[in-house]
Structure 1
Amino acid sequence: MPEEIVKKPNTKPKYDKELLGIFGHLGNEQSKVKFIQLNLGTDELDLLGLVSEIPGSEQWSIRQLFQRDIDEDRVEDEIIPYFKDPSTVKFFNPLTIAVLPIDNHGQLCSDLVEEDVDVDSADSSRNFSHAYAVDGFYRVSHDAGVTKYGLLHWDTSKVKLIAIDGQHRLYALKRLLGVFRQNPSDEALGKVGFKSWKIPIVLVTLGHSSQIHSTEGLLEKTRGIFVTINKQAKQPTRSRTILLNDYSVTAVATQEVLDSARSQGIPLAFFNWRDYRDEPSEAGTTYLVGVDELEDIIKGYLIGEDADSSSEFKLTNDQERAVLWNEQATPPPLDSPPVELREAFRSRYRETVLPAVFYILYKIEPVASYIEYLTDIENGLKNDVEKHAWSRIVYGSDYAPENMETKVRERKHEFLKSCGEKKREMGNIYSRVVGLRAIFSGFCEFSDVYTQYVTVEPWLDLAKKFEKSFNHLFRENVLLSYELTNNVALDSSGSIINYKVDQVKKGLGAAVGYACLFISAEREYYELEELRDRVFKTMVAGYRRDLRPGVKEDYVGRPNNEITEEVNRRADSAAQKQIKRLEKKLNKLLLA
């Protein structure tokens, strides 16, 4: 008998959705972006999703995570009212939608390549002359001739269409669609003709790039498009610019702190990474430092300012020394291509400076206790209401059901209030960014003196020595004492002074560094006169402000130079007494 002919199974990919639009592309082969422009009816909005709907997106690098950010208040207070207002013209730029392959767990796929494929009979019947695909996930057919049409086919079980720009508009539209489906007779939506709206979108495929062979690469490509759109569309805030800027050494160093924070046990809630400052003051906030403030700390106290040029990634001499660049076995040439140099810097920064930064944050008592408090909240979320509320605080979005909205808002307010109360327990100085500035400025002074007089040690070892002195002084209430803070960080009324980055170097940062070095076990090896003199001069300046009105009353009718001389004499005397009282306290706390 002839052998039975076994038919091969039909392996043609199953594409169950398609969208037709106008095809286009921009850029060369390495930077090319292919796209299709079209309109969607409101009843088709379910085809589109948000970044937060991708499982695991909350664990993305901070440099990509901002694409997940939804400002609920902006949607509720600005966009939805605008959409529902019948008196306003309705128009906005197209939503930018990325075509993203996903695996069986709903997470982004890696190791996928977009390739040109043969035109099939269906393509030919629609006059399409070209096609490309990520096999089994999606296929794009398009015409290179006059019509310029493009058709996206995709498998909805393997591909998500995710908004990478226009997230707020899409979220608002989805909210309104939910209202419409619950009540098709909704008066407000009827007045604006919501049912008949056509939403402009641009579908973007990303898999053709040679660097899209990993999830990280795919995210970087979407980030690149997001950066381009937002930099060209409007001037971003300084904090957002830092997250987008890959040409600034200090911005990249800041990104590394934020990227690594969660893996080091520091919740994102500790940072104002979303740059929101609109929470009610009575409720408080969770964050202790903003992205811009974090960069100020890094460049002011740790690695130094950038070079003048902002068009290329370039390390200054100070930044080379900070990351011990030339102490590597084979330091990359500083004239390497910018991308290679940037990645080499990231790696070196993670090895040298970053461990000290996290050690200080996690060990210095006034900050560590607050980080522990935030961690306990994150680990102790009991129910969906708490999870939605905390997600709304940290990520700006949560997608709680409408019937849960009131409880989520209430719990969010309670979380913010409790965090505000916890920060107030830290005191007037260390509950504010001036406290963090003083800690890192003090660490900078400590490290500079130690390496000058004792020995050059790794950043982490220096951080451990600094922490030992700092926490000892903090537990003994010296760092918040009148002797250390008066006219250094607080004026005579108790208000904070000398809080700017450069002022802290001469004020509280210098005082913290001086006190920590004074009691250090290695104190016999170094000189502290220069640092002491800096603290003393700051005290004198404060006393001059306080004493001048009284001296002017005592010296009525006397020449200004005599008044100034007397003010200086009294201020010097008062400052000498204060610093000697401080040193008397410190002498009782010397470390062995």
Structure 2
Amino acid sequence: MTTIPGKRPINRFTKIYQGSFGQFKTSDSFPTQFLLTSLTVNNFDDLTTASEVMDLEDYQFDELIQRDIDPERVRDIANRYLAKGKDRPIFFPPLIVCVALMEAGEATRIKPQYDSVASEKVEEDGQEYLVSLFDTDGFRVRLPVADAAHSDRSVPWGEGGNQTPHRYYAYAGELALNPARAKLVVLDGQHRLEALRLLTKSQEGREIVAPVELPVCIVWPPGAQVGRSENITVDFRELFITINSEPRKVSGHFLILLDDKRHSAMAVRELADAWKGESQGWRRLHLLEWNTRDDERTARRTRGFSITTISVVSEVLKAYLFEPTGLASKLLELRSVEDEFALADPNFNPDGVSDQRRGPAVSQVMRERLRSTVVPALTILLRGLPPYAQQEARLGQAFARLKEQRENRNLAFTSLSNHLDRFTYEYDGDANGPVQGAYADFRAWAKVPSEQDVFFLSIFQQGLLRMWLRVGALRNVSAIEAARITTDALGAFVADTGPGRTVYLSPDLPYCQRTLWRREKVNIGSDWARLAWSDVLIATMVRKDVRDAAVAELDGEKRIAVAQDLETMGITSARRYAARLWEETLRETRNNLGEHFGEEEAGRLRELRKQDLQAFEAVITTASKDRFKVALQMFSNMLQRREDELYEPA
């Protein structure tokens, strides 16, 4: 006869860590609890990096903590520091690791809040313990209770508002995890962890790190419960930014992605989410560069097949959408949701909105407005302009060819496809040699043709976005309408890439030299140069064919009124550009005497400048007029206007 065993509860807390417990809290902050402990080489796999546990497919950019591993940095730590430690001390500061509870049935989605936190005092074998259970079976914290004679450390413990201070033995804290529900995700130090893991892949490397006791600080927010304002992923992102601000700052595009204080950062995260969500055959997020870590490369394209970067977009939004009072309110149509703002914050003034974010409730309303106005407008601008639409088609064809190679069981292209599915664009040396070759082919398939390079310059794109904002400032024109007007106008002339097109922005053209270009290098050295790029684009509105294309989708009286406003705007920009062209012609003549007068005459002019500055300037002005006249004549011909309409001498 079979004997039924007695009831025995299942112990789900099978991962146990012991160490020193503490709590970090100021008078006003949310509390953060932590356990200081250490791990040996056999426990390194208990830790996971954000890139392993967070599938980008399941996350919005606003939830991003830290994803990408820099392989070069990992190899540097492993080979130049750990492996070269003979006869000298080496040490890692503690890794900061968060306890992440995963959503039920979701291996890659962190819960934003605990469903429950049960804290009580229990007795086991004559010893009292403070015990907290997070989500019943997620993870458990246990502290042995002490008295005043043996410990001066205390922590509030109990349910909700009934917490009272209890003394405890700090050195004997215990954290127990249910590995089916809780993961230890590295918040700071993932490159140190990956360096240790890299060495364990070889026998020699494993011997090097075998004695290592890796210091680890495990943190969790005890108060992030359902019904409260605290959010776990927001907490971890905030900690990541704070921890990494010094001595090694968050770098590159991640400064924007992790910025919770600016609407411009929120806007580009929403844009990235929108493009990530378009996946017919391939993710449109590949068109947007968002994960460059090098600060110096964030404002320019580095991949050859992308269209733009989040830095280009966020800088324009920050400086030209949110800084001028009233423009953001108009384009985001904030007055249409006044009631929602009143509920979120009665003191919030939609007309005075700036780049600085307000509280969570106001931010949520702003997020929805950005999604419905700015994001679709940016999508029209950055994917609707003919060169950008053509690049999207080229990249789609490249992904189709990649799929064919994968279906033919080409292993290099299969590996490349897996990398690109994770938005990984840099590959480790010899280990990924075949992938690098496949990637070179892929980039060649999707490369922007050289004759379209100008449209992919960051300064052109800044001019494009500023033009959109100038059009959007017109009466009765929405953000989305302004985007269509801008792309249709530029597509009719400036960005017309069809046969027989006129190259309006060529560095060879006299009116582009010294303003847009300096000896075939783009002129990006000053604020006026950036204004010149937007002015030269807006100036095309003086052409009737451009205006007709711009307002073609508008109806009736609105079409007539907007066309008139566009012409006025075009004249203003054309005149400002022509005036700047004259100033730069004078400056260039003055600074390059030998080139324009010959060395002998240049020497005489240098002496004249010392003796009679007024006479010197008269010579420079006379010499500059002929060159300026040629440039102005070509500019006016391009715009189909008389020269005196575009420039009046002072």
For normalisation by structure 2, the TM-score amounts to 0.74
Q: Specify the alignment match of 1:113 in structure 2.
A: 115
Instruction: Determine what percentage of the aligned residue pairs are the same residue.
Output: 16
Alpha-carbon distance between aligned partners in 1 of 2:601 and 2:426, rounded to the nearest angstrom: 63
Question: Distance between the aligned counterparts of 1:282 and 1:503, measured in 2?
Answer: 20
Aligned to 1:309: none
2:646 alignment partner in structure 1? none
2:284 is paired with a residue whose SS is: coil
Distance (whole Å) between structure 2 residues aligned to residue 331 and residue 568 of structure 1: 59
Unpaired runs of at least 5, structure 2: 152-168, 349-357, 407-412, 549-559, 606-614, 643-650
| Match in the other structure for 1:444 | 469
Aligned residue for 2:93? 93
Once the two structures are overlaid, the 10-residue window that deviates more, 544-553 or 40-49, is 544-553
> Residue 277 of structure 2: SS of its match in structure 1?
helix
Which of 158, 163, 169 is the matching residue for 2:186? 163
Q: Structure 1: which amino acid aligns with 2:144?
A: D
Which residue in 1 is equivalent to 2:313? 294
Gaps of at least 5 residues in structure 1 are 1-5, 306-315, 587-592
- Aligned match of 1:504 in 527, 530, 540? 530
1:303 aligns with 2:322: yes
- Residues 51/257 of structure 1: CA separation in 2 closer, same or farther (3 Å cut): same
1:467 aligns with 2:487: yes
Alpha-carbon displacement from aligned partner over 1:415-462 (angstroms, at most 9, x marks no partner):
45665xx135353422321221122123234444xx2xxx41211112
Q: How far off its partner does 1:290 sit?
A: 4.1
- 1:527-561: CA deviation from partner (whole Å, max 9, x where unpaired): 24322201212332343355554654497656302
* Structure-1 residue corresponding to 2:415: 385
Match of 1:348 in 2: 369
Task: Check whether the contact 1:488–1:498 (CA below 8 A) recurs between aligned residues.
Answer: no
The 1:238/1:267 distance shift into structure 2, 3 A limit, reads: closer
The more displaced of 325-334 and 222-231 is 325-334
Alpha-carbon distance in 2 for matches of 1:535, 1:369: 30
Verify the 8 A CA contact 1:13 1:136 in the aligned structure 2.
no
Counterpart selection for 2:378 from 346, 354, 357:
357
Distance 1:346 1:178, change over 3 A: same
The yes-or-no answer on 1:204 pairing with 2:260 is no
Match of 1:150 in 2: 173
CA RMSD of aligned residues (A): 3.8
2: CA distance between counterparts of 1:536 and 1:283?
Answer: 33
Cα distance in structure 2, aligned partners of 1:282 and 1:288 = 7
Question: Where do 1:239-250 residues align within 5 Å?
Answer: 239-250=253-264
Greater relative contact order structure (CA < 8 Å, 6+ sep): 1
d(CA) in 2 for partners of 1:80, 1:257: 39
| Counterpart mapping for 1:35-434 below 5 A | 35-54=34-53, 56-65=55-64, 67-87=66-86, 88-102=88-102, 103-108=104-109, 110=111, 112-119=114-121, 122=124, 128-143=129-144, 145=146, 146=151, 147-148=169-170, 149-179=172-202, 183=203, 186=204, 190=207, 192=208, 194-206=209-221, 208-210=223-225, 217-237=231-251, 239-263=253-277, 266-268=284-286, 270-276=288-294, 287-304=306-323, 316-330=325-339, 332=341, 335-336=347-348, 338-377=359-398, 380=402, 382=406, 383-390=413-420, 394-395=423-424, 405-415=432-442, 422-423=447-448, 425=450, 427-434=452-459
Q: How many residues align?
A: 549
Q: Determine the structure 1 residue equivalent to 2:164.
A: none
| Change over 3 Å in CA distance of 1:238–1:46 after alignment to 2 | closer
User: Counterpart of 2:535 in 1: which secondary structure?
Assistant: helix
Match for 1:573 among 629, 638, 646? 629
**Which one-letter code corresponds to 1:325 in the other structure?**
L
Q: Is the partner of 1:210 in helix, strand or coil?
A: coil
Change (3 A) 1:60 1:378: farther
Matched position secondary structure for 1:209? coil
Aligned 8 A contact 2:515 2:580 in 1: no
1:37–1:202 contact (8 Å) kept in structure 2 = yes
* 2:460 alignment partner, one of 428, 435, 440: 435
Aligned pairs (5 A) from 1:550-589: 552-553=597-598, 557=604, 559-584=615-640
Q: What SS does the corresponding residue of 2:219 show, helix, strand or coil? A: strand
Partner of 2:609: none
1:456 aligns with 2:476: yes
Q: Secondary structure at the match of 1:267?
A: helix
Paired residue for 2:521? 495
Shift of the alpha carbon at 1:268?
4.5
The 5 A counterparts of 1:473-492 are 473=493, 474-475=495-496, 476-481=501-506, 486-487=512-513, 490-491=516-517
Which letter maps to 1:369?
Q
Measure how far apart 1:153 and its partner are.
1.7
2:513 corresponds to which letter in structure 1?
Answer: N
User: One-letter code of the match for 1:195?
Assistant: A
CA contact (8 A) 2:65 2:233 kept: no
